[in-house]
Chains A and B, each alone.
Chain A
């Protein structure tokens, strides 16, 4: 089994998207959590923002992160010819 340059690019792109999404995850979790008191000064949809993020906003971001990752990687598999055949 010999890895080609193309394989390395594929893995590199995987690492890049993983890093970007982890930064979003970190902000949605720990930065938002750390500043929850300050965020509560703003109101969104009738909620204090800090409460809204912890109860709903960050959760929606998590769902979207996973959706984007699945879409992106499944497309990347095909572009780099490492996709599986036996699939629907």
Chain B
């Protein structure tokens, strides 16, 4: 026994040594590129270096971790120390949406965006208290494994397989999309090529070594993503608060934003710009019908204004701003389409800025009440979804013991917390910079980052002089959320190498999540469907080979779907959480905590939960309504005014109640199942049964 202890200890120390060297090596690499940049290396080459060096690194770890052993392939040999499993879970968890999108959502929606911050962290309490230790004791390979063993028969397992694939696939498409965006933005490769480069990156991590390879690359990816996220924020924090841990000090900045908001709301120039913003936005929305005409009309207006300004001998900066607007005129229809897409976002500026820290803004008490319900609804769904997404739960099969599984959830949340408590801080610091430095500056002398990004992509940043006074008003700025993280290094005045680092971090976040998801889908098919249901006598080598083959197939299908650029990525991610919560959470938790829960309860409960959730989405979400030809107004289908993304609010309780009622109406499960429940409840039992998978 003590031999095992010292073996685990030695393994931990070895890992610590490896990853310390790795982190040092990575920092040295960044410093070397920083020096190269000073000596004149081009931005594009810095982008390439970050892209290919990091993917090469992951590939190396992936190849070194290759395996044909089932326990190694499916659960990394069950010897991942809690600390490192925590890091791997962090990377598995934090997707492109968390890394790039979260701070932007918080910038745009203020307090209400915090629903995601709370939901995506608080869910780990449910994982820790209700699932991780029990799944670890059960100790097989997948979540359908547990459902199949606890409730018996292939029906429950099949529903599990279907649900696992449904929510993981929706989620993985969003990740591959993120990979495509990042690679194309930072290297200039085309989106489609970016997707396939990224796909290569995902496959080298998971194809040869399954969970074992994914685990060790995810640890490496976590280190890169957290360095990439924190570096620019610390810098920006020093700039605005004078403290290198701005997470604890941005309260003062938040107060200053509150004062600026009041000033901006009352400023007559802003009032004027807000009136014009609505008209400009609506005009731009109509532009795609006849781009050429809209472009010509806009150009004519600018030329007229220029002539007027010159005739009235307006100050030089006013004339210069109109001249600049004409100089940067979109050269072709595609650019013009982007130009108008960016301007269309101005319509939202018709209202004065919402106080950043104010919860549940609304025009009257009823609107505020609905906003509050939806806030809590999102929190609920994100939390229960966290505690039901198979790619996360799977990670707790890989620890050495039940004790380690419990500690591992703590490390997981700790590592996730580092990023999630930084995101609201970043949003506030960026907002302060925009409100105090960008607003009020002259168009002829915009801050460098704003001048650069407005040319890169108008949907990320559009600044346009609506009232022709040559000065930037807040109502003249339309921001796309993703820019907050992407432009932070430049806002903070850091060299380009840090922007490259941020891109590498975003890539690491997207790749690591995609790895975990693809593995979940491939294992649901290769392990649960093929081995457990079709060919139970298949030898180990063939099982692993089938899983690897399926991984390749699923990856290609996912990339193919992604190349169609399905819209509404954020909704897809949210939907995955609601679906997972409704399908899995009730059956998993009652499976451990209520011995009386039986097969028929689980079958009907999972179907009812998932069905309710899917029904609610299909009648309240515009895209699905169109698909199913639902025409009656959304409000007539809504229950308690909840939005489609929070459908799990209904799915989870209906699932729980259905399992409860149907289980009581049908015979109690047999003795074997009772023994299984006792087995998972106690880390060690005398005369215990054995469920570990091999």
Contact = CB atoms under 8 A, between A and B. Distances in A.
A45 B421 CA distance: 15
Nearest to B1: A85
Contact of A66 (B124, B360, B400): B124
Nearest to B423: A55
A18 B111 CA distance: 30
Contacts of B409: 66, 70
A73 B117 contact: no
What secondary structure prevails in chain A residues at the interface with B?
Answer: helix
Interface centre among B358, B403, B407 (most CB of A within 10 A): B403
B118 interface: yes
A59 B277 CA distance: 38
B403 A74 contact: yes
Nearest to B402: A84
A21 B125 contact: yes
B248 interface: yes
B483 interface: no
Contact of B9 (A10, A22, A84, A88): A88
B671 to A, nearest CB: 10
Contacts of A79: none
Contacts of B9: 88
Contacts of B12: 88
Interface stretch (B433-441, B507-515, B517-525, B674-682): B674-682
B24 interface: no
Contacts of A7: 682, 685
A48 B357 contact: yes
Contacts of A59: 117-118, 121-122, 417, 420-421
A55 B423 CA distance: 9
A74 B406 contact: yes
B282 to A, nearest CB: 32
A10 B129 contact: no
B410 A33 contact: no
A54 B427 CA distance: 14
B122 A58 contact: yes
Given A36-B111, A58-B118, A87-B401, A82 B683 contact: yes
Interface stretch (B251-259, B288-296, B614-622): B251-259
Contact of B410 (A29, A36, A48, A70): A70
A30 B129 contact: no
A86 B107 CA distance: 48
Nearest to B424: A55
B376 interface: yes
B407 to A, nearest CB: 5
A40 B355 CA distance: 12
B688 interface: yes
B133 A33 contact: no
Nearest to A10: B682
B306 to A, nearest CB: 45
B413 A46 contact: no
B5 interface: yes
For chain B, the bracket of interface size reads 35 or more
B75 interface: no
Contact of B133 (A46, A55, A73): A73
Contact of B401 (A47, A50, A70, A84): A84
Contact of B684 (A51, A55, A84): A84
A45 B417 CA distance: 19
A56 B425 CA distance: 10
A21 B8 CA distance: 31
Nearest to B412: A66
Interface in A27-49: 28-30, 33-34, 36-37, 40, 43-48
Contact of A69 (B121, B128, B683, B684): B128
Given A45-B251, A55-B114, A62-B125, A37 B678 contact: no
A87 B1 CA distance: 8
B124 A62 contact: yes
B684 A21 contact: no
A58 B120 CA distance: 12
A46 B685 contact: no
B372 interface: yes
B8 A34 contact: no
B251 A77 contact: no
A67 to B, nearest CB: 5
Given A34-B372, A59-B118, A70-B409, A52 B403 contact: no
A73 to B, nearest CB: 6
Nearest to B252: A46
B683 A83 contact: yes
A36 B371 CA distance: 12
A77 B403 contact: yes
B179 to A, nearest CB: 28
A48 B511 CA distance: 37
Nearest to B679: A1
Nearest to A2: B687
B129 A18 contact: yes
Given A66-B413, A70-B407, A29 B128 contact: no
4 pairs of A and B residues whose beta carbons are closest in the complex: A46-B251, A70-B406, A36-B359, A54-B114
8 contacts: A18-B130, A21-B125, A28-B122, A29-B383, A47-B251, A58-B118, A73-B406, A88-B9
Given A51-B111, A52-B251, 15 more contacts: A1-B679, A1-B686, A7-B685, A22-B125, A33-B372, A33-B376, A36-B360, A36-B372, A37-B358, A51-B254, A54-B117, A70-B128, A70-B409, A88-B8, A88-B9
Interface of B: 1, 4-5, 8-9, 12, 81, 111, 114-115, 117-118, 121-122, 124-125, 128-130, 133, 247-249, 251-252, 254-255, 357-360, 368, 372, 375-376, 379, 383, 400-404, 406-407, 409-410, 413-414, 417, 420-421, 424-425, 675, 678-679, 681-689
Interface of A: 1-3, 7, 10-11, 14, 18, 21-22, 25, 28-30, 33-34, 36-37, 40, 43-48, 50-52, 54-56, 58-60, 62-63, 65-67, 69-70, 73-74, 77, 81-88
